[in-house]
Amino acid sequence: MIKLKNLERSYPLAKEKFFFVLRDINLEVEEGDFVSIMGPSGAGKSTLLHVLGMHDHGWRGEYFLGGTGVHHLKPKERATLRNEQIGFVFQQYHLLDDLTVYENLDIPLSYRHYKKSERAAMVADMLDRFQMVGKKDLYPSQLSGGQQQLVGVARAIIAEPKLLLADEPTGNLHSSQGEEIMELFRKLNDEGMTIVQVTHSEKNASYGKRVIQLRDGWIVKGE
Amino acid sequence: MTDLQYALRQLAKSPGFTAVAVLTLALGIGANSAVFGLINGLLVKPLPYQDSSRLVLLWEQFPSQGLERIPVSVPEYLDYEKQAHSFERIAAFVSASFNLKTADLPERVQGAVVSPSVFPLLGIEPIKGRTFAQEEFGEGRDDVVVISERLWKRRFNSDPALIGNKLYLNGRSYTVIGIMPARFEFPLPLFNIQGMQFTERADIWKPIAFTKGELESRGSRSYGVIARLRADASVSSAQAEVSTITADWKRQHPKNYGDFSSFGAKIYPLQQQVAGGMRDGLFILLGAVALVLLVACANLATMLLARASARERELAIRVAVGASPSRLLRQMLTESVTLALIGGTVGVLLAVWGLDVLKHLGARTIPRLNEVTLDWTVLFVTASVAIGSGILFGLIPALSSARPELTEVLKEGGRGSTSGARSNRVRNGLVIAEIALALVLLIGAGLLMTSFMRLQAVNPGFDSHNVLTMELALPQLKYPPPANDDYVGGIATINFFAEARRRIANLPGVGHAAFVSALPLSGSNNDYSFVIEGRNSSQEKVSPDEEIRVITPDYFRVLQTPLLKGRFFSDSDTVDSSKVIIINRAFARKYWPNEDALGKRISFSDQNPQWTTVVGIVGDIKHRALDLDAKPEFYVPHTQLPSRFMVLAVRSSQDPRTLTHAIRRELLSIDPDQPVANVRTLEQVISDSIGPRRMSVLLLGVFAGVALLLASVGIYGVMSYLVVQRTHEIGVRMALGAQARDVLALVIGHALKLVGIGTGIGLLLALISTRALSVLLYGIDAFDLATFVLVTVVLATIALLASYLPALRASRADPMIALGNNG
């Protein structure tokens, strides 16, 4: 599903010097895998996830997603590939504050040019699946953190991606809400979705099948 | 959810921002809408006649005598009618006034005497009755009139039985045969026609009845000529044809045209004649409002840039969940265009209100102003301007937001500020542009205002304070001409004005009272040709022709125009005494440059000269316009050339308007059927004469003020944003020992830099663009240094004051809070 070869991410410093956030990353993730990326703060975990999510384009090396060489693609082609293949869950949920739950779920579909009737059916299905039908007209500020993250996950998977990326998905939740989200992830993985999550929590990592440790930009375990 | 719904929700969520943005846009778009409405109504919209683009006016000219666009005589008109085949129809017309007598007070009603063909020529049907038949043309058959719907409503309460009934006009009975619709206006007030501009709207039309005298006199020119070009004719082909006709006259009537080698006739498209004089001013105003709109757009762009950086997280999320840059661009532009359309709607309301104010101010002096409305054309242009503005001011913020820095913004705890150096450069650039554009407008307005003040300070050659004027036209039937001359009144006319003068002069509060045939700066004028004693007229190529005024003795005392030499007229200058004239200084200088003009003699006829002696020389009076030099003029006593149309001028020691009632009473006691019209103070006459210019100054002043306000708001907004953005830096500086004045200097220094660059560019642009204003300036150079410097200092001061508040706020910040704010 994912193959990284000699991937590097750096930021320029003064006089042709660079600060490396990711160094010589070589990584393979099989389809249906559930990988947890761990490591201390500043290790490069989130950066790696954003590179995988194609939010970050300033890296060097090779990145294959489902056999497509992302490194060969133009930004517009990358955006298309991302919309087809990837869903992203954020630690801070990043729901759009001015949109209702329904509208937050609808928006990824509208950006993917689904017809209105199709969108309505897909959103209704997702609300039903996540048991949030009664909350569809509420705004994010009217939901608990756990509920917001549930919407965040629903939004990430509504366009049926093959790969779900999650950046500290339970970081802002208390433990019972966190468990609920992780159970959901496990279920999604059982249904065949590939998941890569960044986490500090050993417990959350235990929901996955594989752990990768990062330190100072290097993969130190699980390559 | 559609982009439009989201845009509306966003605007509703920030009512403060929305209100300021809508108001800014409303001012910019409303100003454009109003000025475009003026241009559309005055210059573009066809005249209210059928196929008006084929209507032309024909005027004659004597270029060597400085006479252009003068009327034609009856024999000449009849020749054009017979010989000019370029015209489908041709008609003669002349303005006329009618004393209308009903059961109420007598009233003078403005009207016109027209060829029967004028109505079919213009293609307008009456709403009731009919227009003139061909046989209702000529003396004795002309006792029919057509009246306007306005007069029908106002004086006759829309009485349907009026058709076929009699009206008493100028002491004679006429049958009303038709009523023309309210929108029908003819003749239209025209620019640049000697003695015909700013006439009132006609409400009564009577068929022409050429008199025997008129039919025989080729040199007595008093009729306007309007014609409709044939479908296969053009202005130039018609011009060629009338030039041939006038050239033939010189051969056929050498006695009449032999001296005037330059005599000719010229064809003018009617539309061009009606409002052509406003063209320059209107296009300058259009330029001005375009600048106002650009300033408003720059302002909006800075506001949206600030807003875009506050919405960075939202935009990043949208991209993360699948929005493409073009989709974000579309959404941002939908928001800015929605805002612009709301602003445009409010702008249209402002324009409607503004046009009402303008009509109130300028209806008397600007032709067709009453016709100006915000029709579908104007609304379509306004909508296009609004959408264009929305794209213009929305594009820069939209482009800068369409590719947000996802990683930084979306990472845990990421504040993700993209308002870095590039964003600040754009924002600074916009403020510089605002200042530069506002300066161009302010300098233009400054030049026009100075010019206008200088024009108002011009000495017209008389004192206009405390003088009341009103017009009287005695009807020919009641005040008949002498047997040998149709053009002047007889003894009854002389007696009426002498008695009126005597009675009015004796009224309490009246200093002096006099009559004149044409009041200075009123738009009416007359000229007369003459020969000078001792100069062989046949040796002179062209007979002199100068402007003539008929006056009663105290005229110069009323106007307080100085006597330079000789004497004023007195009651001893009678119809039987020796003929006398008074001339002005310009006349004396032109014809007797190196000798004493006093005692010199002229004659109005070179066949049997009746010599008229110059008995006085007076100061020059600006008659045509305040910005034109006084022309040579001569004055004839009313007793020796008794005109039936005279204007009363009364000097008072008090507010002269309080005399109106008493004067009317005295006039009615002499002739109970005699109305007065156009009661105005002399100050009002002067004010009306500079009406169009006043409107340009007023509008440009308002637009420049709006631009100044917007630029100040812009610089205030940018400085406030800068202070918020640099709060952390300011906190650190203060923690390190910076004093309040250092912070103040930091912020104001930044503003000073923007103002400096903006005014520099603005001065350059002003130097390039003010040349276009030259046509509207009087007594001031388009590059007047004092105006440039003064306006620049004013703008710079206001801009710096606008940055002072945010600077003050920054200097009073608590370093702990400032640091915490970013901590």
Q: What is the pLDDT of residues A105-132, one digit of tens each?
A: 998 998 888 999 999 999 999 999 888 9
A110 touches chain B (CB under 8 A): yes
Contact B320 A168 (CB under 8 A): no
pLDDT higher than threshold 50 for residue B419 = no
Q: How far apart are CA B769 and CA B766, in angstroms?
A: 5
When pLDDT is cut at 50, 70 and 90, the band that residue B369 belongs to is confident
Among the partner-chain residues B322, B327, B407, the one whose CB lies closest to the CB of A55 is B407
Among the partner-chain residues B322, B406, B407, the one whose CB lies closest to the CB of A108 is B322
Contact A108 B313 (CB under 8 A): no
Least confident of B561-575, B705-719, B784-798: B705-719
Among the partner-chain residues B9, B313, B322, the one whose CB lies closest to the CB of A83 is B322
Residue B664 confidence (pLDDT): 92
Q: How far apart are CA B177 and CA B116, in angstroms?
A: 13
Interface with chain A: mutation pick from B321, B335, B415, highest number of A CBs within 10 Å: B321
Residue B190 confidence (pLDDT): 60
Under the phi-then-psi rule, with left for phi > 0, alpha for psi from -120 to 50, and beta for the rest, what region is B490? beta
Residue B415 confidence (pLDDT): 42
Contact B6 A159 (CB under 8 A): no
Contacts of A103 in chain B (CB under 8 A): 1
Contact A95 B1 (CB under 8 A): no
- Crossing angle of helices B660-670 and B491-505, rounded to 10°: 140
Residue B193 confidence (pLDDT): 52
Average pLDDT over residues B801-810: 85
Among the partner-chain residues B10, B322, B406, the one whose CB lies closest to the CB of A98 is B10
Contacts of A111 in chain B (CB under 8 A): 318, 321-324, 327
Per residue in B716-728, pLDDT (tens digit) is 887 888 787 777 7
Nearest CA in chain B to A95: B317
In 3D space, the residue among B530, B48, B560, B69 whose CA is nearest the CA of residue B266 turns out to be B69
Per residue in B514-547, pLDDT (tens digit) is 999 999 988 777 888 888 988 865 545 567 888 9
Contacts of A91 in chain B (CB under 8 A): 412
When pLDDT is cut at 50, 70 and 90, the band that residue B412 belongs to is low
Residue B651 confidence (pLDDT): 96
Give A154→chain B minimum CA distance, Å.
Answer: 12
Interface with chain B: mutation pick from A46, A55, A86, A102, highest number of B CBs within 10 Å: A55
In 3D space, the residue among B755, B116, B120 whose CA is nearest the CA of residue B428 turns out to be B755
**Residues ≥6 apart with Cβ < 8 Å to B257:** B246, B249, B250, B263
Residue B106 confidence (pLDDT): 81
Give A30→chain B minimum CA distance, Å.
Answer: 23
Give B412→chain A minimum CA distance, Å.
Answer: 6
Q: How far apart are the first and last CA of chain A?
A: 15
Q: How far apart are CA B292 and CA B32, in angstroms?
A: 8
Contacts of A97 in chain B (CB under 8 A): 314
Among the partner-chain residues B6, B9, B412, the one whose CB lies closest to the CB of A171 is B412
Higher pLDDT, B197 or B172: B172
Contacts of A50 in chain B (CB under 8 A): 406-407, 410-411
Burial of B377 (0-12, 13-18, 19+ CB in 10 A): middle
Show the tokens assigned to A107.
């928006």
Nearest CA in chain B to A172: B412
In sequence order, the β-bridge partners of residue B264 are B61
Per residue in B146-173, pLDDT (tens digit) is 999 999 998 888 998 999 998 888 888 8
When pLDDT is cut at 50, 70 and 90, the band that residue B823 belongs to is very low
Cβ under 8 Å to B: A residues 124-153:
none
Per residue in B698-708, pLDDT (tens digit) is 888 888 888 88
Contacts of B328 in chain A (CB under 8 A): none
Per residue in B635-646, pLDDT (tens digit) is 999 999 999 899
Nearest CA in chain B to A48: B407
Give yes or no for a contact between B621 and B559, defined as CB atoms under 8 angstroms apart.
yes
Q: How far apart are CA B703 and CA B350, in angstroms?
A: 13
Contacts of A53 in chain B (CB under 8 A): 320
Other CB atoms closer than 10 Å to residue B290's CB: what's the count? 17
Residue B198 confidence (pLDDT): 42
Average pLDDT over residues B678-703: 86
pLDDT higher than threshold 70 for residue B816 = no
When pLDDT is cut at 50, 70 and 90, the band that residue B821 belongs to is very low
Q: How far apart are CA B743 and CA B739, in angstroms?
A: 7
Q: For the whole model, what pTM was predicted?
A: 0.77
Among the partner-chain residues A47, A96, A168, the one whose CB lies closest to the CB of B407 is A47
Residue B102 confidence (pLDDT): 74
Least confident of A195-199, B180-184, B605-609: B605-609
Per residue in B60-98, pLDDT (tens digit) is 988 877 777 888 999 999 999 999 999 999 999 988 888
Per residue in B248-274, pLDDT (tens digit) is 888 888 777 766 667 889 999 988 887
Contact B318 A56 (CB under 8 A): no
Contact B411 A167 (CB under 8 A): yes
Residue B538 confidence (pLDDT): 55
Interface with chain B: mutation pick from A22, A57, A74, A98, highest number of B CBs within 10 Å: A98
Nearest CA in chain A to B330: A111
When pLDDT is cut at 50, 70 and 90, the band that residue A100 belongs to is very high
In 3D space, the residue among B223, B232, B234, B230 whose CA is nearest the CA of residue B269 turns out to be B234
Contact A91 B412 (CB under 8 A): yes
Q: How far apart are CA B32 and CA B383, in angstroms?
A: 11
The dihedral built from the CA positions of residue B616, B621, B623 and B628, taken in this order, carries a sign that is positive
Residue B747 confidence (pLDDT): 85
In sequence order, the β-bridge partners of residue B166 are B175
Contact A103 B1 (CB under 8 A): yes
Interface with chain B: mutation pick from A92, A101, A157, A198, highest number of B CBs within 10 Å: A92
| B628, HSE (Cβ side, Cα atoms, 13 Å) | 11
pLDDT higher than threshold 60 for residue B195 = no
Higher pLDDT, B360 or B384: B384
Contact B411 A53 (CB under 8 A): no
- Those residues of chain B whose CB sits closer than 8 Å to some CB in chain A are 1, 6, 9-10, 13, 313-314, 316-324, 327, 406-407, 410-412
Q: Which residues of B530-569 are buried (b: 16+ CB within 10 A; e: fewer)?
A: bbbeeeebeeeeeebbbbbbbbbbbbbebbbbeebbbebb
Give B232→chain A minimum CA distance, Å.
Answer: 59
Q: How far apart are CA A43 and CA A23, in angstroms?
A: 10
Other CB atoms closer than 10 Å to residue B121's CB: what's the count? 22
Contact A106 B1 (CB under 8 A): yes
Cβ under 8 Å to B: A residues 69-108:
76, 79, 82-83, 88, 90-92, 94-99, 103, 106-108
Average pLDDT, chain B: 86
